[in-house]
Amino acid sequence: MSDAKILALPDYATSPLYDEAERVALEYADCMTISGREVDDGLFARLRRAYDDDALVELTAIIAWENASSKFNRALRIPSQGLWKRP
């Protein structure tokens, strides 16, 4: 993934660097991650159009795993490894 695409992540919903499948996956990740947000029927329908059952299960598992890892690391005061830094 290019640095430009990573830097455009906050604007994924409107950035031309992201295709529709990427946008819906990122929206899904936001809804799974941000408290008070929910995966509504409309979002789930868009996910089903972009991904088959196996891919949707894998995507959900990856998002859930990353959320769990983040909470685990934060609770134990494990700092970021700094694998990517903004230029």
Buried b (16+ CB within 10 A) or exposed e, 5-38: eeeeeeebeeeeebeeeebbbebbbebbeeeeee
pTM of the model: 0.85
Q: pLDDT, tens digit, for every residue of 28-60?
A: 999 999 989 999 999 999 999 999 999 999 999
pLDDT exceeds 90 at position 22? yes
Question: Residue 58: CA atoms inside 13 Å, Cβ hemisphere, count?
Answer: 5
pLDDT exceeds 70 at position 86? no
Give the number of other CB atoms < 10 A from CB of residue 47.
19
Mean pLDDT computed over 22-30: 97
